Every structure is written in C-alpha cells, then in structure tokens.
Amino acid sequence: MTGEPSRLVPASARLQGLAPVVSPRTVVLVLGSFPGVASLRAQQYYGHPQNQFWRILQALWPQHPLPPPDQYALRCAWLLERRLGVWDVYANCERQGSLDSAIRQAQVNDFYHLLQACPSLAAIAHNGAESYKHAPAVLRSLQEADGTAPVRRLESVKLPSTSPANAAWSFERKWAAWGALMAAHGLL
C-alpha cells in the first residue's frame, strides 16, 4: 500500500452518438467508430481540431472552399454537395476518453433503415481499423429485412484513420488513399 487514499473510478456513462449526415444523393458513406470527446462536446463530426478529416476533404476539392468549423451546418451542406455522408458504426457505447480501444458495451447503428434514405449509396468508407472491423456486420445489416438477399452490392473500403492518433500515415498518404476512393466513385 502506498498510503494514498483509494480513488473510486466512476463507471463510464452511456454516450449517445450523432445523427447521420446523409441525403438521397449520398454515394459514399464515411463511417467512423464513435465520436471523440471533442466531437461529442461540439456535437459535430470530426470536431477535434487535430483530426484531419475536414482538411483531407478540402484538399480533395480545393476549388470549393470549406466553411470554417464554427459554421458546422454549412460544412454538412458542403459535404452533402460532394455526395458524401458521414455516420458512425456505433449508435452508443460506454467509454472514458476518446480512444477506440476504450469503447465498451457498444451498440451498432441501424444501417438497414439508413440505406432506405440513401438510394444512391455505392460505398462504405471505414475511417480506420475500429470501424472496418465491423464491415461484415454493417454489410449484413444492409440486407433485406428477411436477411435473404442484399439490397444492392456495396463496396466496403478500409481507409486510413484521420485521427491524430494515426501518426503512422502522413497526411499525403491519407489524402491519396481517400482520393482514390472518391475518384473510383466519380466524386472527383
């Protein structure tokens, strides 16, 4: 014993994710795992200033200026104009901090009903490894209600995470991988 008073660690509170940003024109849906603390606090996807998500997208479409972070509704409209959508694999979970490795008791979002709202959807772009490990479950949930046949064939791609925790990939490598997917679906 160290002589220090014992500290009780509070149980993790159940965290609720954000609503999807999609439209009937969405061709590529970017799926993260679950918003970090900064994003939940701001109620904005990729709200941490060091996350490279918005910076990568701006670099892909430099001719279309991205609205500043304090104009989030305009950023979402900008995203939808590019025929992109954004959501997360998890609807809710328990987690302390922002790391994917700390996610516990996660509930997967309802992708079947999302597909009904996105008739143009052609690809699921998983933003990092945690999201991608659920790719088979996401694709299964996009099947007919009776589970017998896929509604349509969708590409499922693992992209390098835009998180500041993914320092192994340079910005240029991330940009190239994201750009290849967007070009493959006619978005560039």
- 26-40 per-position pLDDT tens digit: 999 999 989 988 899
Structural domain boundaries of the chain? 18-184
Domain 18-184 has CATH 3.40.470.10: yes
- What is the reported pTM? 0.87
Split at pLDDT 50, 70, 90, the class of 3 is: very low
Q: Is 67 left (phi over 0), alpha (psi -120 to 50) or beta?
A: beta
Residue 154 has what pLDDT?
A: 85
The closest alpha carbon to 32, from 176, 187, 165, 153, belongs to 165
For the annotated catalytic residues, the residue numbers are 51
CB atoms within 10 A of CB 106: 21
- 5-34 per-position pLDDT tens digit: 434 434 557 899 999 999 999 999 999 989
- 120-140 per-position pLDDT tens digit: 999 999 999 989 998 888 887
Total number of residues shown for the chain? 188
- 69-99 per-position pLDDT tens digit: 999 999 999 999 999 999 999 999 988 887 7
